[in-house]
Structure 1
Amino acid sequence: MAPLATVGILSVGEMGVGIAKLLIAHNYRVVTNIAGRSKDTQARAQRNSIETLPSDISLVETADYIFSIVPPRDALATAKRITTAFNTRSKPTPLYYLDLNAISPRSAREIASLFQTFAPAIKFIDGGIIGGAPSPKTSTEPQTTVSSPPANTTHEWERPSIPVSGPSRVSDSPLSGAHLASTLNLNHISSEIGKASGLKCCFASLSKGFTALCIQSITTASNMGVLEILLHEAEERMPGMVKAARRGVPGMPPKAYRWVREMEEIAITHADEGGFEGGGEEGEGVFGQIAKVYRSVAEDTILGEEKTERRKRGRTLEDVALVMGEGLMAKKRKTSG
């Protein structure tokens, strides 16, 4: 069966791969350009049946949709890559560009302006991803007949929510747009650029802000030798919080470097849209400080060396606390010495 449409994904990290697998399971062709990227990235694309193209020009010529899912610090540069490639070669069919990065409304509007100025034919869509990477659901119900529905149907996948905004709608695209929007769980919330990215930042304020608070609390408690008691008290009074911490904190180390700029983008969002102090400059406001927590994880401890496919340390709440304590105390000794 011919693919419904071709989707280019930049880049193929944990979330990009999850979305690629979901789309491939629903008869989409998924392509990427990872020229010059690491062997790990090359292997990840091959292992997950993502077709690699030699250049951004090839990507633009081939894809009907391009999803930008990169570290927040790379969002603008990735958009510039695509506008440059788009203007190098002609493209007879529409091209939709979905910026799904964790950026502020201010940054989303800047990227939208870039497209409007240099590649107005590209339909720009502001978006954000709320939740984990797509994955097939584990079925507990055995299939009893050969006529049972195929496993890879939309309702049998765990999917994040993807709010999108802007004047263009994926569902209006003649290139299987309505099917693609349904498959991805897209929710068009506004015709205004910035609404979707702002919503994402507000959600991440709660989820990743909570994780950062947990990192500080458990690290300090571990250094003091009272972590076990802290967790016992929290289990007694706030069991849901401990459950969330045990799920979220160990999953954080491979992503900490990405979350530094994301916290700064969140600070910009709260300053611009909420009126709070702290505009994203390093260390300003609550989320400027939280950015420092994630920078410490990424740069001051061996947790910053963790890769999603090869986890060694920080796989439990207790080990995150131990490694963080060791790294920060070593930094303190080095600074004071």
Structure 2
Amino acid sequence: MSIVPPRDAIATAERVAKVSNTKRDKPLYYLDMNAVSPKLVRSISELFAAAGHNVRFIDGAVIGSAPSLNDDQADSSKPEAWKRPGIPMSGPHPLKDAEPSGAHLANTLGARHISDEIGAASGLKMSFAGLTKGFTGLAIQSFTTAHRLGVLPELQQHLQQYSPKTFELVNASMPKMPPKAYRWVREMEEIDATLAEDGGFKEESIFGGIARTYDLVAHGTDLGQEKTDRRNRGKTAEDVALLMSEGIERRKEKMD
């Protein structure tokens, strides 16, 4: 099961393919769960096919938050006791067919086989993340611009009055973003590739710019120092906008 930063997906597969030529009675199932484009995941599948080893490739994805135990559950040994992310999978070899424990693993993960085509699960992930993480990237730009214009309180007020769902989503998503921004740079680039290659939006995609926004978060502001379990700054949308503005000023000074 490969779950690594998107930039490491191919290198991880190459290492496994290189040592997967051991003779075995039952095939090795390689489950790629990385946030990468259908085009890239197809190339990884072809990597194993070309190696000629007894490997069955599954295209998978993780959609949603990390697992957490339901408040009313004391027995953590049962899958239904957990809130689980969505785990779509696709390809000609469903996980449930893996012996001896594929069906048990699929049930534990809450996996759902959505297609026999390699790329379908990754494409679903890219489409979903484009809406969620893409929205957060747009919110960062909007809130930072409003802060630099001195109208961020008014923007918050108008969102709360005229688009309360957007107000709630922005103020929930922006503070959660900083520790993950470094990973989201490549993920936005993979979304960009997906929209161009599989969606046909070769000239219209906006995700290259969102990738650069997350790169600024991760490498050009103090937000890039934040860790999931050790949060100091950027715990409100307003503070994210403030630190982004400071990062933009530092970038301008370097350019000057």
Is the pair's TM-score, using the shorter chain for normalization, greater than 0.5? yes
1:187 to 97, 112, 115: 112
Residues 248-305 of structure 1 show CA distances to partners (whole Å, capped at 9, x for unaligned) of: 1111111111111111111111111111124xxxxx8301111111111111111112
> What secondary structure sits across from 1:187 in the alignment?
strand
**Poorly superposed stretches of 4+, deviation over 3 Å:** 89-94
Query: Which of these residues, 138, 151, 154, is aligned with residue 79 of structure 2?
Result: 154
**Is 2:76–2:82's contact at 8 Å kept on the other side of the alignment?**
no
Shift of 1:151: 3.9
Describe the SS at the equivalent of 1:164.
strand
Q: Deviation digits for residues 67-124 of structure 1, max 9, x if unmatched?
A: 111111110001011112223x444543211111111110010000001111531111
AA aligned to 2:42 is: R
TM-score, length basis structure 2: 0.95
Cα RMSD for the two superposed structures: 1.6
Match of 1:95 in 2: 28
**Partner residue of 1:327?**
247
Q: Which residue of 2 aligns with 1:296?
A: 216
2:163 paired residue number: 238
Q: Distance in 1 between matches of 2:52 and 2:93?
A: 15
Any conservation in 2 of the 1:223–1:325 contact (CA below 8 Å)? yes
Greater RCO (Cα-Cα under 8 Å, separation 6 or more): 2
Question: In the alignment, residue 236 of structure 2 is paired with which amino acid?
Answer: T
Q: Which blocks of at least 5 consecutive residues in structure 1 are unaligned?
A: 1-66, 142-148, 279-283
2: CA distance between counterparts of 1:169 and 1:154? 20
Q: Percent identity, please.
A: 52
Taking the TM superposition and a 5 Å limit, the aligned residue runs for 1:1-337 are 67-87=1-21, 89-139=22-72, 150-278=75-203, 285-336=205-256
The amino acid across from 1:83 in the alignment is A
Give the total of aligned pairs. Answer: 256
Give 1:328 deviation, angstroms: 0.8
Alpha-carbon distance, 1:137 to partner: 1.5
- Asked if the contact 1:297–1:324 (Cα under 8 Å) also holds between the matched residues in 2, the reply is yes
Is the contact made by 2:91 and 2:116 (CA closer than 8 Å) also made in structure 1?
A: yes
Output one character per residue of 1:7-42: Cα deviation in whole Å (capped at 9) or x when no partner: xxxxxxxxxxxxxxxxxxxxxxxxxxxxxxxxxxxx
SS of equivalent residue, structure 1 residue 189: strand
Judged with a 3 Å threshold, the aligned counterparts in structure 2 of structure 1 residues 116 and 247 are, in CA distance, closer, same or farther, namely same
Contact preservation (8 Å) 2:26, 2:99: no
Structure 2: segments with no counterpart, 5+ residues: none
